[in-house]
A and B are shown apart, each in its own frame.
Chain A
Amino acid sequence: MPIRVEGLSYIYNAGQPMEKLALNNVSLAIEDGEFIGLIGHTGSGKSTLVQHFNGLLKPTKGRIYLDGVDIHSKEITLRSVRQQVGMVFQYPEYQLFGETVFEDVAFGPKNMGVPEHQLAERVEWALNLVGLDIGLKDRSPFELSGGQKRKVAIAGVIAMQPRILILDEPTAGLDPKGRDEVLSLVSRLHQEEKTTIILVSHSMEDIARLATRLVVMANGEIVLEGTPEAVFQHADYLERIGLGVPQMKKLLQALQEQGFDVHPDHYTIEAAEGEIVKILETK
């Protein structure tokens, strides 16, 4: 089992006036090949949680296990953990520093001990995966457009070839076109490269389509967990804690309330279309 979290609690500014319990006894297990959608309002603790997976934050209480090994024990180095558990922060383009795109993307693999002669291959592979032209590798990353910069930043993390990839709101600040590109890239990673994905987001619609499992957080705790269908059953509760359900689900539920014979457990346009066609055919 790749990641297991046991009884994790985390307190910010422990022992000071601004002390805050950010995570309260959280337990979670993540299997290989999953696509986890981690959802919650701002302040629910989702960013704090994922920063424990690669050791950027140390638990106040509880443990994190990677393949059964406590990541803070002597049996494993944090460097090894961070090679296996990659993380893309919000607005990752603000962390670019290389003189060339190549230099920036190579930074991660280099730190992880990839030998010089293999770096070029890695960088090329990563740039390809994010859909950037190889010809850009000698350009300064600061000359690129916002969308391209973000792809360079993501490539920089992917180049380490982590087994598990955490992305914190990777579509933040992007227009619909940019958002689609990033989400399809993440989907590709999941399907083709078999990377386990943990996607942190606010957007129900983004996540619903791609995730195999949803984890919903509120006030530092996991409040709901399961397949998208299972989680969206609790539509009222989700609305109450400030998270919506996908529009299509709301529509189908509303139709069901009006007496129509539809399955309310769908949340994509295609599926909703199917249900409504059924109604129209009976007229």
Chain B
Amino acid sequence: MAEALIKFTDVSFSYSADSPQEFEALTGINLEIEAGEFVAVLGHNGSGKSTLAKHINALLVPTAGNVVVAGIDTRDFDRVWEIRQNVGMVFQNPDNQLVATTVEEDVAFGPENLGIPTPEIHRRVDEALELVGMNEFRLRSPHQLSGGQKQRVAIAGMIAMRPRCIVLDEPTAMLDPVGRQEVMDTVLKLNRQEGITIVLITHAMEEAILADRIVVMEEGRVVLTGVPRAVFSQVETLTQLRLDVPQVTALANRLRQRGYDQIPNNILTIEEMVNVLCQLE
């Protein structure tokens, strides 16, 4: 079996290590992400999920344990730029990622940094804008775009660098429902169509549900991991962690608790619930 694209081994991380303000944000993390996977990291604010994300592209390095990305240890200073070419990152605030005065120029920023020849830059910008569906907006200024559009431009900017993996740190937290839909559609397309590995950091269960695998974090540790169906059926655990479950799943759980065992414990959608009730006839 091929080596995992991203591998965390016994990773711990403390902010302000060895000082009075030392705060251990990650403890004993073991995690492997295969190429082509779509992994969601779920947890409330302060659970350590963003800290985890920043270890994947070497914005942070562990205080204990190690992180290996595409065969490169993130502590290897000289190869940091190689790592960042393999792992792109999109952040929460749509505005604070766009540096240029027009969309196409911003998407070109990454390739420019890589020293790619001009004609190739043009090709990549065209490709990336096409993939995220922002081609008609290429001459617009950032402030003329909606939140969802800005995030798509940020994603295009990453794609233009042709990374193998993209980490998205709460990309929809500041967006309205339309924007959230746009971004999630784009993310799914990148994973399913282009085979890009996706690591999505979020606290929204409607997004985590779309992933191949969910990793739930609490106080710097991984507390639950598995496919969406398996994770969301653990309603009590998730509720204790102050995380949402789909309303139907919570409903199914309540019914089971009242003794109605006919209701299975892994319902995720309205259709499934309706089918179950119909089949009970």
Contact = CB atoms under 8 A, between A and B. Distances in A.
Nearest to B251: A269
A41 B244 CA distance: 23
A273 B255 contact: yes
Interface string A235-265: 0000000100011101100110010100000
A207 to B, nearest CB: 13
A180 interface: yes
Interface in B153-193: 173-174, 176-178
A255 B174 contact: no
B177 A272 contact: no
Nearest to A244: B177
A250 B270 contact: yes
Interface stretch (B58-66, B132-140, B272-280): B272-280
Contacts of B250: 269
Contact of A178 (B45, B176, B244, B258): B45
B118 interface: no
A251 B255 contact: no
B28 interface: no
Q: Max chain B CB contacts within 10 Å: which of A175, A250, A277? A: A175
A172 B274 contact: no
Nearest to B274: A254
A246 B247 CA distance: 9
B44 A279 contact: no
A175 B238 CA distance: 13
Contacts of A269: 247, 250-251, 254
Given A176-B243, A254-B274, A276 B176 contact: no
B248 A255 contact: no
A42 B178 contact: yes
A45 to B, nearest CB: 14
Q: Max chain A CB contacts within 10 Å: which of B173, B176, B280? A: B176
A242 B179 CA distance: 12
Nearest to B270: A251
A273 B260 CA distance: 12
Contacts of A145: 45-46
B270 A146 contact: no
A254 B270 contact: yes
B242 interface: yes
B255 A247 contact: no
A202 interface: yes
Contacts of B86: none
Interface of A is mostly: helix
Given A250-B270, A272-B251, A276-B255, A255 B277 contact: yes
B77 to A, nearest CB: 32
Contact of B255 (A178, A205, A242, A277): A277
Nearest to B254: A273
A260 B258 CA distance: 21
A276 B203 contact: no
A268 to B, nearest CB: 9
B242 A177 contact: yes
Contact of A251 (B176, B248, B280): B248
Interface in A190-236: 202, 205
A247 B203 contact: no
A19 to B, nearest CB: 16
A180 B203 CA distance: 13
B21 to A, nearest CB: 12
Contacts of A246: 247
A276 B248 CA distance: 12
Interface in B175-228: 176-178, 203
Contacts of A172: 174
B244 A176 contact: yes
B255 A41 contact: no
A173 B255 contact: no
Contacts of A41: 176-178
A20 to B, nearest CB: 14
Nearest to A250: B270
Q: Max chain B CB contacts within 10 Å: which of A146, A205, A246, A283? A: A283
Nearest to A280: B260
A260 B242 contact: no
Contacts of B44: 175-178
The 10 closest A-B pairs by CB, nearest first: A177-B242, A175-B203, A247-B247, A175-B44, A176-B244, A175-B45, A42-B176, A251-B270, A254-B274, A177-B44
Interface of A: 41-42, 145-147, 172-178, 180, 202, 205, 242, 246-248, 250-251, 254-255, 258, 260, 269, 272-273, 276-277, 279-280, 283
Given A242-B177, A273-B254, 6 more contacts: A145-B45, A176-B44, A176-B242, A251-B274, A258-B274, A260-B277
25 contacts: A41-B178, A145-B45, A173-B173, A173-B174, A175-B44, A176-B243, A177-B44, A177-B242, A178-B44, A246-B247, A247-B247, A251-B273, A254-B271, A255-B277, A269-B251, A272-B251, A273-B254, A277-B255, A277-B260, A279-B277, A280-B255, A280-B260, A280-B262, A280-B280, A283-B280
